[in-house]
Chains A and B, each alone.
Chain A
Amino acid sequence: MAKSKTKKPAKSKAASNSASNPSIDEMKELYREMLLIRRFEEKAGQLYGMGLIGGFCHLYIGQEAVVTGINSVQQKQDTVVTSYRDHAHMLACGMDPKGIMAELTGRVTGYSRGKGGSMHMFSKEENFFGGHGIVGASSSIGTGLGFAHKYKKDNGVAIAYGGDGASNQGQVAECYNMAALWDLPILYVIENNQYGMGTSVSRSSAGSLYKRGEGYGIPGEQVDGMDVFTVQAAARQALDYVRSGNGPYILEVMTYRYRGHSMSDPAKYRSKDEVNTFKNDRDPIAMIKGMMVDGGMAEDDIKVIDKEIKEIVAEAATFAQESPEPDAHELWTDVLVEVDA
């Protein structure tokens, strides 16, 4: 797709699969990852419908290729922060589906012991820094993660995900400026699913989002987010660029959510045809499955993966329903780090 040139040399990018012949094993891994996200989210939707998950619940269905592609080329020391549509990012970075689902059902075995919910989970172990409910906050916090990488010289890159809607928050521009000024190792990923809640990008945003860094000298690039290999290739290049000390990079990934903004959104602001076009013609999981079949993988072998994923998700759902709610004393703990006094 498009590319905004600044420090980085221009390079045209094919609109679709740009990876050089991925192996069956690679495809299997990415398929597995994306399928886990989809089945997990479908299950979360079901549990929400049953009243087992409350509050806001923002599903990632349709967008799987974005976080899967980027995660596949990250390094262990890299850090991730995102907004409130965050279940997939946690699954991708290796957090336990059981702990995530249990947090969704508000149980003590959840990542935040039931005190965070869908939008607020963290894992120091997996370098996942939330899960933030305020639109735009992940850009600033992510910039700070990058600042710490540079300060500690740990060769890490911060990856800050945010939506198209977040791009219009003032703090995003503030952070572009500082990240460029100080050459911070940060990759800003704009997950452009084309709607900030019910407002389409064309009704909310002037210009192109990936070009928003131009004035600061931040290279930006827009890629097809329905094709995991395109995302992967772009992310690999972007992360190399950032890790080499060139400063920030903006990757705008064009994607689509099949469900509403949250569980309570009927999504009447877009046509069924539009949704079906993506579902039927552009689905990232169907696409890679097709490639696997074309590559000679037997349908039965694919079914083995499907079954395995189904089991993981079922197990997570059972765990999330059977785990106890937090004890009443949890109400009072973790407000502050207790200091000896």
Chain B
Amino acid sequence: MPTNILMPALSPTMTEGNLAKWLKSEGDTVEAGDVIAEIETDKATMEVEAVDEGVLGKILISEGTQAVAVNTPIAVLLEDGETANDIGEVDAAPAADIPCVPEVQDSDSVTQTSNDAEQHAGATIENRDILYAQGVIIEPPPFDEASFTDTEEVTVRVALRDAMAEEMRRDGDVYLMGEEVAEYNGAYKVSEGLLDEFGAKRVIDTPITEHGFAGLAVGSAMNGLKPIVEFMTWNFGMQAIDHIINSAGKTLYMAGGQLGCPIVFRGPNGAASRVGAQHSQCYASWYAHVPGLHVLAPWSAADAKGLMKAAIRDPNPVVFLENEMLYGEKFDVPTDEDFVIPIGRAKIERSGADVTIVAYSIMVGKALEAAKALEAEGIDAEVINLRTIRPLDRFTILESVKKTNRIVSVEESWPFSGIGAEIAALIGEHAFDYLDAPLARVCAKDVPLPYAANLEALALPQTEHIVNAAKKVCYAD
């Protein structure tokens, strides 16, 4: 019986790929192990090998086809004695759904962020950092985001790359260091092309030695350079946490202001897809705990671009938490090279009157989906994208909850001592009398992230959890 050759999944997060090239033609005999085609994934171009012997009876997906879903039949393999006439109708749809793989991957669709929601004007405030440390509620820095009207559609991945490239062109002291950032073009292609443009002096492949190269980068920052340190994922950055906190975060204070550490530590944070407990942790609350660090967590490509530029220009150490699942997602991004989002300023992604939903990183998208679902049920949700975790834009959160009187916090991290816990404390201290319902937190379940697809989905916050939490605080459940 003819066998279908299916579009293979070639990375943990791949849901579709491009059929770049056929290396065999119809009628060719193939042995198991022969390379039959090349497929471009979100990360690389991969060779596909035949798993069985036979004759390539029919090519179903022609070379050059983009966005072929995983498990779609791409060709038919004939056994001995079979001919093309034996091939029946082949269903071009994917043979089976892959459970729980995220929906968005380098899709052609563009996630629309709205600039309609009215933002706080913000204010220029002297000694902002001191007031923040003292817990004073201050307006965020001013920023007229709506004035950046010229935009282009790019993925988060490209936005990050462009931000780094623009800042590297602007300042010769900025360099990028990390595992596979140069010749491999980045494990997630975030640094693609940077080696070609800036050369090996400024785009540096490191050995797998996080503690060492983080400390090295800190030393170079003290001696006048502006390093961007990529951790292949933040899970590996845990090896380097001593230098991030003790060497980068505390030096300015310990030096009485004499010597600082302008450095960006960046990389994907949080869960990817089915990569297990050690590769799926969110570090937002870990680093947000530390005075002396700035902690940024972009959601959209515009966030990624504007915050990355802010991070590189910041004279302070910055922990920059990206999300692998968002790398391939497209958004409109301002083209102006001066699009630099102020650190410490949240964005109101959607205005609403009934309930405030506060989220960061990938959960902003889920919060917006939830808001849409809630709208259908007559609940008007306001969605705040934190953008910066530390210093937290307490003002924007409080103003929102004073208006809606109900709040749900959403994070991909664990509940205990999480960002939601901090927001709960903020609300308890400053908006207690405004609440019409107790705050609700939507977090990952308090367990290491499991591998099994069903358990993973149960462990991570989903849109419906946000919807349910919002309904609960609106007493509409």
Contacts and interface: CB of A to CB of B under 8 A. Distances in A.
Interface in B164-219: 175, 201, 206-207, 209, 211-219
Interface residues of B, number: 53
A142 to B, nearest CB: 6
Given A137-B247, A336-B252, A341-B344, A148 B223 contact: yes
A111 B219 contact: no
A207 B211 CA distance: 24
Given A134-B242, A178-B212, A336-B292, A145 B257 contact: no
Contacts of B225: 147-148, 151-152
Nearest to A81: B219
Interface stretch (A17-25, A57-65, A167-175, A302-310): A167-175
A130 B218 CA distance: 13
B255 A112 contact: yes
Nearest to A176: B212
A116 interface: yes
B259 interface: yes
A103 to B, nearest CB: 9
Nearest to A149: B223
Contacts of B221: 144
Contact of B246 (A137, A147, A336): A137
Contact of A339 (B134, B201, B253, B314): B314
Contacts of A211: none
B316 interface: yes
B147 interface: no
A55 to B, nearest CB: 13
A334 B252 CA distance: 6
Contact of A129 (B212, B222, B257, B343): B222
Interface in B81-131: 124-125, 127-130
Contact of B207 (A79, A111, A177, A332): A177
A171 B251 contact: no
Interface in A139-164: 139-149, 151-152, 158
Q: Which of A110, A137, A140, A170 has the most CB of B within 10 A?
A: A140
Nearest to B253: A334
Contacts of B243: 137, 140
A145 B207 contact: no
B223 to A, nearest CB: 4
B426 to A, nearest CB: 19
A75 B343 CA distance: 40
B69 to A, nearest CB: 43
Interface in B231-271: 242-243, 246-247, 251-260
A243 interface: no
A338 B251 contact: no
Contacts of B142: 341
A151 B127 CA distance: 34
Interface in A100-141: 110-116, 120-124, 129-134, 137, 139-141
B33 interface: no
A142 B214 CA distance: 12
Nearest to B206: A178
Contacts of A81: 219
B291 A335 contact: yes
A255 to B, nearest CB: 24
A140 B256 contact: no
Contact of A79 (B223, B247, B260, B343): B223
B220 A148 contact: yes
A333 interface: yes
Contacts of B209: 174, 177-178
A335 B254 CA distance: 9
A178 B213 contact: yes
B315 interface: yes
A174 B240 CA distance: 12
A148 B219 contact: yes
B133 interface: yes
A337 interface: yes
A299 interface: no
Nearest to A129: B222
A160 B394 CA distance: 42
Interface in A313-341: 332-341
A335 B129 contact: yes
Contacts of B247: 132, 134, 137, 140-141
Contact of B253 (A142, A147, A148, A335): A335
Contacts of A181: 207
Contacts of B214: 140
B415 interface: no
A333 B124 contact: no
B316 A123 contact: no
21 contacts: A79-B223, A114-B256, A115-B254, A120-B255, A122-B254, A129-B222, A137-B215, A139-B215, A140-B211, A145-B223, A149-B223, A151-B201, A175-B216, A178-B212, A334-B253, A334-B255, A335-B130, A336-B316, A337-B252, A339-B314, A341-B344
Given A111-B258, A122-B258, A148-B224, 6 more contacts: A120-B255, A141-B215, A178-B213, A339-B314, A341-B124, A341-B343
* Top 5 closest pairs, chain A to chain B, by CB: A144-B219, A140-B215, A174-B212, A113-B256, A148-B223
